Structure 1
Amino acid sequence: MRPQRILIVEDQPFQREYLLNLFRELGAQELRAAEDGSDALRCLEQERFDLVVSDLMMPGLDGVQLIQRLAALESPPLLAIMSSAPRQLMGSACMVARAHGIAVLEQIAKPARAPTIRRLLDKLATRLERSERRARQPLPAPTGEELERALRRGELRAWFQPKSSLIDGRIVAAEALVRWEHPQLGVLRPPDFMAELTSAGLDETLLWCMLAQAIDAQAEWARQGFRLTVAVNLPTHLLDDRGLPDRLAAFVAEAGAVPAHIVFELLECSRTVSPANYYAGTCRLRMKGFGLAQDDFGQGYSSLYNLVSTPFTELKIDRMLVHGCVDDEGLAAALESIVKLGRQLGLEVIAEGVEHPDELALLRRLRCDCAQGHLISEPVPPPVFTRLLCQERPAVAH
């Protein structure tokens, strides 16, 4: 993999030299330094960087203003925010970046320490490796007709991402995630086609497709001695159809599967036309025996009231609360509170987007139930998932 290109933005000369030396000692090679936000923008006009490590409190163009200017770039770099300011202020700056679509890899308290910078470089290497694997020419948006044809031909396939127990590290469940196994373009991820699929009104068709494949995978795992629940994403607006819970129950029964082993994760990409449809749909799904997960808790429309008023069986903590939790006392406290709340409500608590061993260790100390993310495994095809299970014998029931 090519060397990582990093720009350090720090107005204090001593701190700037200290950071450059620290990054070099930990293996960073292509480093540049900027004296303030304006100098950083000049550097960014001249060359592209993979990561910008920026102070917040700077004269002239401060760190928040720099973030706002970064958002105007065609391909904004990844970001690490660094400051001696209170954690809440850094957290707010992170929210500014994320609202502009800029990924924040780390919040660094001054003075920066070697373990924090080493973790930052590890995360950067993982992100760059992942990006290089996915790099390709921009794809033309598929038409509704192409997507309908792909569904008929069975090209939209369920890949499975493991959920690992934080007690013993074993795989105890899976989430079915769609991949388009395109005959010419290779494996396409949801950002390449999901917006068009939704616009074409194919959400429910995809739901049935994913559910059928999840049940088939469960049956195969059961033949090898593994009993796992599988989560399937359900766009919330489909609950406007009052007959959907009945059809789902009938489909699962006909396939010989068990509703309790299917969890529907309610997606926040859409909402029902009325709260009554939402509550009726979720109640009836639970009455049929299905599990329900509050997805992405901590962002979007998810709320404490929604959590306690809906018959969920699982709570999935949003990845934005997990990233940076190791060095951010505020995030760590929020995570601890969410885990405790989930346990008090009798919910299984799952942390999403885990990318670093330190995050996993903290979640384990907080007694979170399960973790899911690229540190454990990316989504994989069913045969690969089966191999992962077989490597963990004896099987653990869940």
Structure 2
Amino acid sequence: MRGFSRQTEETLGRLLVVDDDLVQRTVAGKIGAKIGYDCLTMPSLELAESVLSRETFDVMTVDLSLGERDGVELLRFVADRGLQNMAIVVISGCDGRVLKSTRRVAQGLGLSVVGVLSKPLNLDELKDALLLPRPKRAAANVPSAAIVVSPERIVDGIRQGEFVADFQPKVELGSGKVVGAEALARWRTREPGIISPTAFIPIAEQHGLMPELTDAVFASAMSQGRKLIDRYPDFTIAVNVSGSLLSDLTLPERIEDVLRRQQVPAHALIVEITETTAMADVDLATDILVRLRLKNIGTAIDDFGTGYSSLAALAKLPFSELKIDRSFVHGCEADEDMMKIIEASVGLGRAFNMKVVAEGVETAETLAAIRRAGCDIGQGYLFSPSLRLARAESWVSQRNEFVAQRAAWMGEQRQAISAPSATVTDGVGRQRIEAAHG
């Protein structure tokens, strides 16, 4: 164990270097001290665990090879100790796929990996990784009263009309136009307010209340979504169906009844089903999905790639839309393996004549990557979170108005360029309308 005091007036915090190689941990410690860290170095996993049990650090660098132990064990220890606020730089002489997989392990544990560096170590890359912004410390959790969700309370909520749908927009990547939205179930009560689906869905499943709950959410989604569908004829609303309902052979008729009551055309609805749910009983799922398609209702395979039988689901079931799970989309621009999965999924979607939707689009870099891969539609926080109807209507209207203005402007420029004596405008108008939309 050795310490290095920072060599700057301002501090970047505390750095822990874990490496069984004396030269490498010394060099890393000195670099950390030079740029502003108070640094402590540890030669083994056991000593690192001991100091992490007593002290706090802002950043840790860890070599994946620690003698007879390995760095993944230390990552699990960090997660078990609740040290998710500590940024981590992973170092290893292993091949790139092992490094990428290690990053995924760390992210799966809820850890923040700010750098993955290969040996021989590039000192400039180490310095850059240590200077990257670190995750903000989470505010102290404020204890709150536990929410008790009972079957009786759910039944009462259904009767009171408390189960409603919010809408997360789906954007066509080629044009930028909003072409649909996913309806997300919400339970709005006076006390304690909004209750998360993770709190009420399992109770409803356990007590056989999903048919009534699904009917309520469907009715809310269609009655509210009708305003968007009426305004934009090709607009679609996607609604998730619980796995417990995929064995209910009356489901197609009940959905059709909701559409009839709300005066919504069948083609404006997409029923989303997870692949694991669909494959639980293929015969029943096929029966239900075929009848939905015969009624001109769209069907989407949700969370594609996360189950055990993705290819079988595509081959056996008549889906019209494939939704790539966010676990593949998030950060895909920096992960060649994830991009290969996305590109393969797009190819499969094309082969089965399906539209391909990428979920969890959160950055411009991710958007550019899924566009290059050929995805048709994007959905995620980069565009918009889930919105209540009034905000959704406003957002969709503004977005589609912008797209129309941009298309008109580009058409004018093409005409101007094709005209022999025309002068092309300077594009200020286009810059003005794009400023608010990116």
Please classify the TM superposition score into its range, dividing by the shorter chain length.
Answer: 0.7 to 0.9
Aligned to 1:68: 76
CA contact (8 A) 2:276 2:307 kept: no
Name the SS for the 1:296 alignment partner: strand
Aligned to 2:116: 108
Q: What's the CA shift for 1:356?
A: 2.2
Aligned to 1:27: none
Name the SS for the 1:378 alignment partner: coil
Matched AA of 2:98 = L
Aligned to 2:251: 244
How many residue pairs get aligned? The number is 382
Distance of 2:176 and 2:223 partners within structure 1:
25
Counterpart pick for 1:208 among 180, 203, 215: 215
Matched AA of 1:290 = I
Q: What's the CA shift for 1:32?
A: 7.1
When residues 305 and 274 of structure 1 are mapped into structure 2, their CA distance, relative to the original with a 3 A threshold, is: closer
Give 1:90-101 correspondences, 5 Å limit.
90-94=99-103, 96-97=105-106
Q: What's the CA shift for 1:69?
A: 2.7
Which structure 1 residue ranges, 5 or more long, are not aligned?
25-29
Distance of 1:162 and 1:218 partners within structure 2:
11
CA contact (8 A) 1:158 1:213 kept: yes
Aligned to 1:197: 204
Q: What's the CA shift for 1:332?
A: 1.6
Aligned to 1:288: 295
Q: TM-score, normalised by structure 2?
A: 0.74
Select the structure of larger CA radius of gyration: 2
When residues 265 and 223 of structure 1 are mapped into structure 2, their CA distance, relative to the original with a 3 A threshold, is: closer
When residues 146 and 272 of structure 1 are mapped into structure 2, their CA distance, relative to the original with a 3 A threshold, is: farther
Matched AA of 1:41 = E
Counterpart pick for 2:96 among 87, 93, 104: 87
1:380 lines up with 2:362 in the alignment? no
Q: What's the CA shift for 1:359?
A: 1.3
Aligned to 1:253: 260
Q: TM-score, normalised by structure 1?
A: 0.81
CA contact (8 A) 2:88 2:114 kept: yes
Q: What's the CA shift for 1:396?
A: 7.7
Distance of 1:141 and 1:52 partners within structure 2:
40
Deviations 1:252-302 (A, max 9, x none): 123211111111110357567632112211211111211111111111245
Deviates more, 1:75-84 or 1:168-177: 75-84
CA contact (8 A) 1:218 1:227 kept: no
Deviations 1:121-165 (A, max 9, x none): 49x56xx7xx76997636334111112212221222211111122
Name the SS for the 1:216 alignment partner: helix
When residues 396 and 231 of structure 1 are mapped into structure 2, their CA distance, relative to the original with a 3 A threshold, is: farther
1:353 lines up with 2:360 in the alignment? yes
Distance of 1:333 and 1:194 partners within structure 2:
34
Distance of 1:281 and 1:257 partners within structure 2:
20
When residues 289 and 224 of structure 1 are mapped into structure 2, their CA distance, relative to the original with a 3 A threshold, is: closer
Distance of 1:132 and 1:246 partners within structure 2:
49
Deviates more, 1:237-246 or 1:54-63: 54-63
Greater relative contact order, per chain length (Cα 8 Å cut-off, separation 6+): 1
Give 1:238-387 correspondences, 5 Å limit.
238-267=245-274, 270=277, 274-387=281-394
Distance of 1:119 and 1:138 partners within structure 2:
40
Deviations 1:316-375 (A, max 9, x none): 111111223222222222221211221232111111112222111111111211111222
Name the SS for the 1:173 alignment partner: strand
Name the SS for the 1:193 alignment partner: helix
Deviations 1:232-263 (A, max 9, x none): 00113312111211221232123211111111
When residues 227 and 98 of structure 1 are mapped into structure 2, their CA distance, relative to the original with a 3 A threshold, is: same
Matched AA of 2:74 = L
Deviations 1:210-241 (A, max 9, x none): 21112122222245456421110011331211
When residues 15 and 325 of structure 1 are mapped into structure 2, their CA distance, relative to the original with a 3 A threshold, is: farther
When residues 291 and 47 of structure 1 are mapped into structure 2, their CA distance, relative to the original with a 3 A threshold, is: farther
CA contact (8 A) 2:302 2:322 kept: yes
CA contact (8 A) 1:56 1:81 kept: no
When residues 270 and 366 of structure 1 are mapped into structure 2, their CA distance, relative to the original with a 3 A threshold, is: closer
When residues 191 and 97 of structure 1 are mapped into structure 2, their CA distance, relative to the original with a 3 A threshold, is: farther
1:394 lines up with 2:401 in the alignment? yes
CA contact (8 A) 2:84 2:112 kept: no
Name the SS for the 1:254 alignment partner: helix
Q: What's the CA shift for 1:16?
A: 5.4
When residues 256 and 281 of structure 1 are mapped into structure 2, their CA distance, relative to the original with a 3 A threshold, is: same
1:229 lines up with 2:267 in the alignment? no
Distance of 1:31 and 1:306 partners within structure 2:
54
Distance of 2:352 and 2:128 partners within structure 1:
35
Name the SS for the 1:326 alignment partner: helix
Distance of 1:48 and 1:296 partners within structure 2:
37
